[in-house]
Amino acid sequence: MRTSIATVCISGSLEEKMRAAAEVGFDGVEIFEQDLMTSPLSPEQVVDLARELGITLDLYQPFRDLEGVSEEVFAENLYRLEEKFRLMQRLDMDLILICSNVGTATDWNDDVAIDQLGRAADLGAKYGIRLAYEALAWGRYVNTYEHAWSLVEQADRPNLGVCLDSFHILSRRSDPSAFSTIPAEKIFFLQLADAPEMMMDLLSWSRHYRNFPGEGSFDLVNFMVELTRAGYTGPVSLEIFNDVFRQTDVVRTTRDALRSLVWLADATCAALPAAGIDPQSEANTMALEALEPVAAPTGWDYAEIKAEETEEIATLLTQLGFTDRGMHRTKDVRLFASGDARIVLNELPLGVSGSVIAGLGFQLPDPKTSADRARHLQIPPAHRANRADEMVLRGVLAPDGTEVFFAPEQNGSAPGWLTEFGDPEQPVGEHELVTGLDHVNLAQPWQHFDEAILFYTAALGLGTQPPAEVPSPQGLVRSQVMRTEDGTIRLPLNMVPQVLDVAPTHNQGTERVPTGSHDQMRRSAYPQHLAFATDDIVSLARNAAAAGLRFLPVPDNYYEDLQARFRLDEKFMDTLREHHLLYDRDDEGEFLHFYTRTIGTVFFEVVERRTGYNGYGAPNAPVRMAAQYAIERY
Ligand SMILES: O=C(O)c1ccc(O)c(O)c1
Ligand SMILES: [Mg+2]
């Protein structure tokens, strides 16, 4: 696969963008006109830089409002175009993107546009330049790829073809299956973008909300399958207009960009056989490469909490019925367990206060392959110190700095590393009503939210649920659940504007030094939580209360509303009130849950799913956030 990225996608100067593209491993770039116009580099210096970096200059863009105009206007357009051809010669480039007319064409006639596109191509031919015509989704007359192709076909010039841009095609719900009606050699260029589902005008959607493949909701795998069927052989290029990506670190975002293409190529390879295409054959015309196949996680291995004061967390876990399984035999960490929930408590280094969900272990059928795959996706590794006789886990840093470890699956039995803690023969505690981890909720820095979606999709094979918005006293929180199909792993991500930037950093030494990112995460004071599963929440709450647990209080107004919505009987309502339980119901079943107070930035939830309830009590999330806010303030 030959990869390319439009300079408009990322932040910085033209030179910084080109250097980032090369550093990360892109083969080429699209030069966005504005980036060149604002650059101090001469066109010749840009060519020299590209040579030095070993990248190609694949497409010059965009040229606007060329076709379908009066002869008078067209003469002006040709003058403007010829100037660009001269510039492209200096840039040693041979492909220009022509966007369909959005403004200056007023009295449309296909024949006029065909004639003018043909004459523009003839002028290009004198300079050895090819023209790729792209239908903008909001083009005044030409806004579908079928229409663009029809004009190009009728103009019938060897140096005139089309550019297919997934945003324009999929935002209008056009059907990519007609790509194969276009001769392969006439598809001059491909631009890829994903985007979240949105109800807004096409232009605003396109200019601000595009994101990298795997981060939105377009079916880009099918798009790529259809392009392969059509025989496209050119570069796979990203053209993402995104307000966030244009202000984040250029190398980091460019790495995320390439990761999205590596993921998409792999996902497409997996889908090609069903379309009758052998990925190993010449029919894989873009030479898309498959990654190591990995299966989704089959369970939680552990969650690690780092805290300044582990004692407070330890008390909370004990009140929830966890058993203290003792210290690790060589490391200064302590294990608490109940059922399949295993919580490792670790101290934050001196001078750092608060607490944080620092690490998550995922059980996988083939952890080594998952780790190899993560490396190919350029996901930064997490390092931890190990003694020779200890279980070695490989891990990576999630975009928010959380350490994600790949652990072997256990099929329900206890992981081997448990024997590294305390007394392995220690009996199960009598109050262990928590059966396992139900879900983990991580607060995500707003500027890395999309990156996190792709990370959990590409590295762990999790899928996305439709996003939700939760009103909190401190702002609207965007929430997106990532999960395995069977619901074994559920990972709601909450985008919180208050969280500071937390770039993953590589730990250089052998000691597992907490990264600065955790410190920053803590300072953001945005809570995250572990939710524990139980089959008997009422008994668990009763035990916890007897052990002195301080529950998150629930306002009376909530219970009155609950009664109005669900007509629950008085006795049941009393039980809910008595134990500070929240309640929800869907077509599948019922959901009862409660929350603990927050320590540092970590709190716990206990949930009971009755008969297949599948959600997370979303209607109750605002109640929880308001209660936490009230406690924090007073
Ligand atoms: O938003 C635009 O104007 C624009 C320009 C060039 C493109 O290739 C494109 O897809 C959109
Ligand atoms: Mg485009």
> Using CA positions, which residue lies closest to atom 11 of ligand 1?
136
- Longest CA–CA span in the chain (Å) reads 90
**Which residue's alpha carbon is at the smallest distance from atom 9 of ligand 1?**
136
CB-CB contact of 241 with 8 (8 Å):
yes
How far is 580 from 595, CA to CA, in rounded Å? 8
Instruction: Say yes or no: 340 and 239 in one domain.
Output: no
Residue 438's pLDDT is: 98
Q: State the ipTM, two decimals.
A: 0.99
Output the CA angle 537-540-543, nearest 5 degrees.
150
Query: What pTM value is reported for the model?
Result: 0.92
Looking at the structure, tell me whether residues 466 and 576 fall in a common domain: yes
What is the CATH classification number for the domain harbouring 626?
3.10.180.10
Q: What is the mean pLDDT of residues 267-272?
A: 98
561 in a structural domain? yes
Q: Which residues constitute the domain of residue 455?
A: 299-633
Same domain, 256 and 359: no
Q: Which atom of ligand 1 is nearest to the CA of 165?
A: 10
For residue 508, the model assigns a pLDDT of: 34
Q: Which residues surround ligand 2, an ion (CB under 5 A)?
A: 165, 191, 239
**How many structural domains comprise the chain?**
2
Ligand 1 mean position, distance from CA 21 (Å): 20
For residue 481, what are the β-bridge partners?
492
Question: Is residue 485 domain-shared with residue 435, that is, in the same domain?
Answer: yes
Same domain? For 389 and 494 the reply is yes
Pairwise CA distance, residues 148 & 182, whole Å: 11
pLDDT band at 459 (very low <50, low <70, confident <90, very high): very high
Strands 333-338 and 341-347: antiparallel
30 lines ligand 1 (CB under 6 A): no
Lowest model confidence (mean pLDDT) among 158-162, 166-170, 360-364, 392-396: 392-396
Element (H, E) at 405: strand 403-408
Residue whose C-alpha is closest to residue 619's, from 419, 464, 479: 479
Per-residue model confidence (pLDDT) at position 389: 65
- Is 429 among the domain residues? yes
Window from 149-158, 162-171, 197-206, 472-481 with minimum mean pLDDT: 472-481
Between 426 and 143, the higher pLDDT residue: 143
Question: Does residue 197 share a domain with residue 69?
Answer: yes
Lookup: tokens for 69: 């105009």
Nearest protein Cα to ligand 1, atom 1: 207
The crossing angle, in degrees rounded to 10, of helices 14-24 and 43-53 is: 20
229 and 89, same domain (yes or no): yes
List, as own/partner pairs, every contact residues 513-520 make where C-beta atoms lie below 8 angstroms and the sequence separation is at least 24, other chains included.
Answer: 513/349, 514/306, 514/348, 514/349, 514/352, 514/358, 515/397, 515/401, 517/400, 517/401, 518/306, 518/348, 518/352, 518/356, 518/358, 518/401, 519/352, 520/401
pLDDT > 90 in the chain, percent = 81
CA of residue 485 to ligand 1 center, whole Å: 36
Alpha-carbon gap, residue 522 to 356, rounded angstroms:
6
258 with 375, same domain: the answer is: no
